Structure 1
Amino acid sequence: MEVSVFTLIRVIGSLAVAAMASYAVRLYATTWLKCERLRKKLRRQGIRGPAPSFLYGNLPEMQRIQMKAKAAIDGAALPHGEFIAHDYTSSVFPYFEQWRKEYGLMYTYSNGLRQHLYINQAELVKEMNQCVTLLGKPSYVSKRLKPMLGNGIIRSNGHCWTQQRKIIAPEFFMDKVKGMVGLMVESVQTLLGTWDGRIEAEGGKTADITVDEDLRSLSADVISRACFGSSYVKGKEVFSKLRSLQNIMSKQSFLFGNSLFGFLPSKDGKEVRNLEKEIELLIWKAIQERRRECAERTSGKDLMQLILEGAINDHNLDKESSKQFIVDNCKNIYFAGHETTAVAASWCLMLLALHPKWQSQIREEVAQVCDGNTVNADALLQSKAVTMVIQETLRLYPPAAFVSREALEDTKIGNVNVPKNVCIWTLIPTLHRDPEIWGADANEFKPQRFADGISKACNYPQAYLPFGLGPRLCLGKNFAMVQLKIVLSLIVSRYNFSLSPKYQHSPTYQMIVAPKHGVRITIQKI
């Protein structure tokens, strides 16, 4: 009797394993056939691409190309000083560059579960960005970004996105941003005081500084105080945990991996879930505190207060949905509002350190448009040199590397019929370096190309996408540009600086394009 029970258990176990295997085979076969049907529709239009393998698509080839590029980098000395080349696409995104050279500016590839269409033709990118109802954020990418962004404005689609934009966008109009200049200046002055202290600690002449974390702290302070009425001290834990979450999530190939490659190890997955809960609890606590502070206020409402009111007054949201709406959008603003701006500022300082003549131009202009140490919004809007430097930095080192969309329905972009469920990707750094758009000097740092504005800087202005394009243009564009102008103007007015001999130039992709080893400069007080 005992033997028969064990035999029965083994039989049941075998049947369960067989059933699971059969289900997995059917699932992947169905997925493979679905991708193959989409590939055929694209091939009929003359769109080619690398041949995919069964189940895994082009992932194995992407991994081989990436490993080969990494080996080449590891075997060479990291560039520094005048040897720095600004075209990093062949090292950071080598598979896209290899396929672009082989198949042109439009090709198709697969990650095993999804069929992708790569587009880097400026005219088609413009059309793609104008189409909001038929194209949305790719569902599989959004799912993997959920711990970081929830269902906030960055990853939402349709009515949900429209609803959130209506509430949030007005708070980033230029008239509102001008009112935040005083807070931005105060935060930068605190940073400058810290750097002065480091110069004194190193002998009073110069100091060697890695700027990245200082700029993150500065940017976090600005977004907290300007938009949420609280100091960086209160929000420090939120930003620290968001940074930890970003580092863990960057380990997974969340952009291109399929389910077999995309899962985080159990330890990391557990840590992500814990951090997600902790961040949401901290934000909700801050929201409740802010609600009590603002209970009697009828004017001068900040962004958090407006998000609160918008969610509470929306009859389509119940109590729990309203809470999640508020928390998710605070996460979006916390992350996008400080991380991308801080990274952009780091790249700006790196390029200015390489090109001291532009430091001099900014310094002279700031002295002309500002009265002593006084900085005002109107003067900053007139500061041409610093604007050109920022625009050129965002051309060469845009923090957001991609524009990505998924066809929610069969969609026509130009002469291309994009079938439903196809994901479309555009690599922004490639567009920003196209010689046919920017000229033969496209890989060089030349801010003067923006002397007469973006419309005259290149042959196709719609190919300039540091903040996106069309209806989904980044809501924080004005906020980021004004903050960058203040940060650079005040730093350049206070210091001469050059790249530290210890600086190692190594752009890397960690949800945004950032300096892997940080930006290290040597500063000297003027």
Structure 2
Amino acid sequence: MEILVLFRGMCAQLAAVALLGAALFRLYYSTWRISGRHRKRLAAQGVGGPRPSLLYGNVPEMQRIQAAIARGGSGEVAGSHREAGSGEFVAHDYTSTLFPYFEQWRKQYGSVYTYSTGERQHLYVNQPELVKELNQGFTHLGKPSYLTKRLAPLLGNGILRSNGPCWAQQRKIVAPEFFMDKVKGMVGLMGESAEQLLRGWDQMIEAATASSGGLTAVDIKVDEDLREFSADVISRACFGSSYTEGKEIFSKLRSLQKTISKHSFLFGHNFSGFLPTKKSREMNSLEREVESMIWKVIEERELECSEKDLMQMIMEGAAYNQQGLDKAFSRRKFIVDNCKNIYFAGHEATSVAASWCLMLLALHPEWQKRVREEVERVCKGGGSILDAESLAELKTVTMVIQEALRLYPPAAFVSREALEDTKVGNITVPKGVCIWTLIPTLHRDPEIWGPDADKFKPERFADGVTKACKHPQAYVPFGLGPRLCLGRNFALVQLKIVVSLFVSRYGFCLSPKYRHSPIYRMIVEPEHGIHLLVQKI
């Protein structure tokens, strides 16, 4: 009898496994067939691309190309480790290392081509005119659903990954808090946070000077401190708290970001999501911790009478949401998801942009001198904290930041999914196809920017973006159209404050410890940090 029961149990288990396997195969086969039909429709319109394999599309080829690049070096940009203090040896073209398959296919098939990841067909677009159209269609183009699903632990269904009415509602709440009139009111707060950061560096330099008996340069890993500075600013400006109070939230979000980025979340297979893994369990645990910590902050806020900052607006928006605009979006989820988006996007991308900006200035002391002279002239001595009016006069600082964002835009891609059959230029993009634009490639195209496109030349922005290149729509560090980054003004003002105060107080160059190795972790950041030799002026 026991043997019979055991046998029946085994049969039931085998049947369940067989049914699950059949269901998965049917699902995968059906999606693969859809991907194939999309490819044929694009090919009929003259859009070529690499030939896909039967089940996995071009993923094996992408992996082979990436592996070949990895075998060819340590992952660092070629030649960048030699004489790190010389701009001549830091190569700014990192796309051939991070996304070599895109570069190889672009050279082979042109600036518009199609490729497959098995269950998904993708369209690569790097023509300025098409990029402009791509960023205008917000009703029939949205964030890729398969990609945002993978980012859900970090971003929930907040403004960065939602589409349609849900996105429009959240934008209506969040956008006004980042209009320039509001951002101008945050300048003093940003200056205070920056001064706190610089006082810490002053103490390090003074201690080193005292121990050496003379003025000395100190090796500082500035990206870590800039991340804390940026987190402090977003915490105080938008949530009425200091970075110290929210430090654990930022730390957990950073861990979650790294965990998601360990494997290729851009072009991996959706099948992996069916099976529990150590990585998925780690993400689930971090996600629960982050949501719990944010909700604790919310509950504390509800007990006090707070001023009308962004968190208060989100809480009020959640009350409106409960009235029935989106029944699936609970009050708690609405608040927590939007806070996660702002905590992450509001500090991570800005701190990384500031880090790259200081790296470029370290390579070009002549631009440090020009910035220093401008700040001294505008601030009449350079010793006072900048105000909103002074920031508007810093033309050289603006040029430096614009050029840094051109060479090292934190966001590597503009990505969209056709929510219905969509016309982009002369191409009809079938519903379900994902469209990609590689921003760094667009920003360094010699046909758009000239033969010096790979060089750091802030003067190209002397007369603004419209005169900097042939096609202004090819400059998209913050995106374009209705889904333009809501925090653009906030980020630019913060960058101006960091660059102005840092350069006016210190002279600096790249440390021998610096290794130029951009890495993609949802944004393009320095893998080994930004080490600078910093000396007080």
TM range (shorter): over 0.9
Query: For 2:293 and 2:457, how far apart are their aligned partners in 1?
Result: 43
Deviates more, 1:13-22 or 1:483-492: 13-22
1:320–1:399 Cα change, 3 Å: closer
Query: For 2:147 and 2:335, how far apart are their aligned partners in 1?
Result: 22
Give the equivalent residue in structure 2 for 1:81: 85
Q: Which of 310, 331, 334 is the equivalent residue of 2:340?
A: 331
Give secondary structure in 2 for the equivalent of 1:412. Answer: strand
Give the equivalent residue in structure 1 for 2:458: 447
> What's the CA shift for 1:360?
0.6
Query: For 1:329 and 1:245, how far apart are their aligned partners in 2?
Result: 16
Structure 1-normalised TM-score? 0.96
> What's the CA shift for 1:261?
5.5
Letter in 2 for 1:98: Q
Give secondary structure in 2 for the equivalent of 1:501. Answer: coil
- CA-to-aligned-CA distance 1:126-185 (integer Å, 9 cap, x gap): 001000000000001110101101111110100011101111111101111010011101
Deviates more, 1:145-154 or 1:250-259: 250-259
Deviates more, 1:430-439 or 1:285-294: 285-294
Deviates more, 1:38-47 or 1:256-265: 256-265
Give the equivalent residue in structure 2 for 1:187: 193
> Is 1:253–1:261's contact at 8 Å kept on the other side of the alignment?
no
Q: Which of 208, 219, 242 is the equivalent residue of 1:231?
A: 242
> Is 2:85–2:363's contact at 8 Å kept on the other side of the alignment?
yes
Q: Which of 475, 484, 489 is the equivalent residue of 1:478?
A: 489
Q: Which of 315, 318, 335 is the equivalent residue of 1:311?
A: 318
> What's the CA shift for 1:326?
1.2
1:94–1:265 Cα change, 3 Å: farther
Structure 2-normalised TM-score? 0.94
> Is 1:210–1:520's contact at 8 Å kept on the other side of the alignment?
yes
Give the equivalent residue in structure 2 for 1:148: 154
Give the equivalent residue in structure 1 for 2:364: 355
- CA-to-aligned-CA distance 1:206-239 (integer Å, 9 cap, x gap): 1001111100000000000111111111111110
Give the equivalent residue in structure 1 for 2:173: 167
Letter in 2 for 1:149: L
Give secondary structure in 2 for the equivalent of 1:191. Answer: helix
Letter in 1 for 2:373: E
> Is 1:127–1:413's contact at 8 Å kept on the other side of the alignment?
yes
> What's the CA shift for 1:10?
4.4
- CA-to-aligned-CA distance 1:412-453 (integer Å, 9 cap, x gap): 011000000000011000000111110010000000000000
Give the equivalent residue in structure 2 for 1:414: 425
Query: For 2:6 and 2:294, how far apart are their aligned partners in 1?
Result: 53
Give secondary structure in 1 for the equivalent of 2:513. Answer: coil
> Is 1:183–1:222's contact at 8 Å kept on the other side of the alignment?
yes
Query: For 1:261 and 1:319, how far apart are their aligned partners in 2?
Result: 26
Give the equivalent residue in structure 2 for 1:54: 54
Identity %: 66
Alignment RMSD? 1.7
Letter in 2 for 1:199: I
Give secondary structure in 2 for the equivalent of 1:73. Answer: coil
Q: Which of 121, 126, 130 is the equivalent residue of 1:120?
A: 126
> Is 1:344–1:399's contact at 8 Å kept on the other side of the alignment?
yes
Give the equivalent residue in structure 1 for 2:281: 270
Give the equivalent residue in structure 1 for 2:349: 340
Query: For 2:425 and 2:329, how far apart are their aligned partners in 1?
Result: 42
Query: For 1:506 and 1:478, how far apart are their aligned partners in 2?
Result: 28
1:409–1:305 Cα change, 3 Å: same
Query: For 2:3 and 2:155, how far apart are their aligned partners in 1?
Result: 54
> What's the CA shift for 1:281?
1.3
> Is 2:236–2:243's contact at 8 Å kept on the other side of the alignment?
yes
> What's the CA shift for 1:251?
0.8
Task: Output aligned runs, 1:481-496, within 5 Å.
Answer: 481-496=492-507
Residue 416 of structure 2 corresponds to residue 405 of structure 1: yes
> Is 2:122–2:434's contact at 8 Å kept on the other side of the alignment?
yes
Query: For 1:148 and 1:108, how far apart are their aligned partners in 2?
Result: 29
Query: For 1:160 and 1:254, how far apart are their aligned partners in 2?
Result: 24
> What's the CA shift for 1:263?
7.4
> Is 2:79–2:91's contact at 8 Å kept on the other side of the alignment?
no
Query: For 1:480 and 1:7, how far apart are their aligned partners in 2?
Result: 65
Give the equivalent residue in structure 2 for 1:71: 71
Question: Which structure 1 segments of 5+ residues have no match?
Answer: none
Residue 152 of structure 2 corresponds to residue 138 of structure 1: no
Give secondary structure in 2 for the equivalent of 1:112. Answer: coil
Query: For 1:210 and 1:305, how far apart are their aligned partners in 2?
Result: 35
> Is 2:69–2:100's contact at 8 Å kept on the other side of the alignment?
yes
- CA-to-aligned-CA distance 1:364-400 (integer Å, 9 cap, x gap): 1011111442211111111011100000000000000
Query: For 2:368 and 2:275, how far apart are their aligned partners in 1?
Result: 44
Give secondary structure in 2 for the equivalent of 1:417. Answer: strand
Give the equivalent residue in structure 1 for 2:400: 389
Give secondary structure in 2 for the equivalent of 1:202. Answer: helix
> What's the CA shift for 1:73?
2.1
> Is 1:253–1:262's contact at 8 Å kept on the other side of the alignment?
no
Give the equivalent residue in structure 2 for 1:437: 448
> What's the CA shift for 1:307?
1.3
> What's the CA shift for 1:268?
2.1
Letter in 2 for 1:65: I
Give secondary structure in 1 for the equivalent of 2:336. Answer: helix
- CA-to-aligned-CA distance 1:81-121 (integer Å, 9 cap, x gap): 33111011100110100010111101111111111001001
> What's the CA shift for 1:265?
6.9
Residue 218 of structure 2 corresponds to residue 207 of structure 1: yes
Give the equivalent residue in structure 2 for 1:427: 438
Query: For 2:411 and 2:92, how far apart are their aligned partners in 1?
Result: 16
Question: Which structure 2 segments of 5+ residues have no match?
Answer: 211-215
> What's the CA shift for 1:13?
4.1
Q: Which of 493, 510, 533 is the equivalent residue of 1:522?
A: 533
Give secondary structure in 1 for the equivalent of 2:73. Answer: helix
Letter in 2 for 1:202: A
Give secondary structure in 2 for the equivalent of 1:474. Answer: coil
Letter in 1 for 2:350: T
Residue 291 of structure 2 corresponds to residue 280 of structure 1: yes
Deviates more, 1:392-401 or 1:46-55: 46-55
Give secondary structure in 1 for the equivalent of 2:507. Answer: strand
Task: Output aligned runs, 1:256-267, within 5 Å.
Answer: 256-260=267-271, 266-267=277-278
Equivalenced residues, count = 522
Give the equivalent residue in structure 1 for 2:260: 249
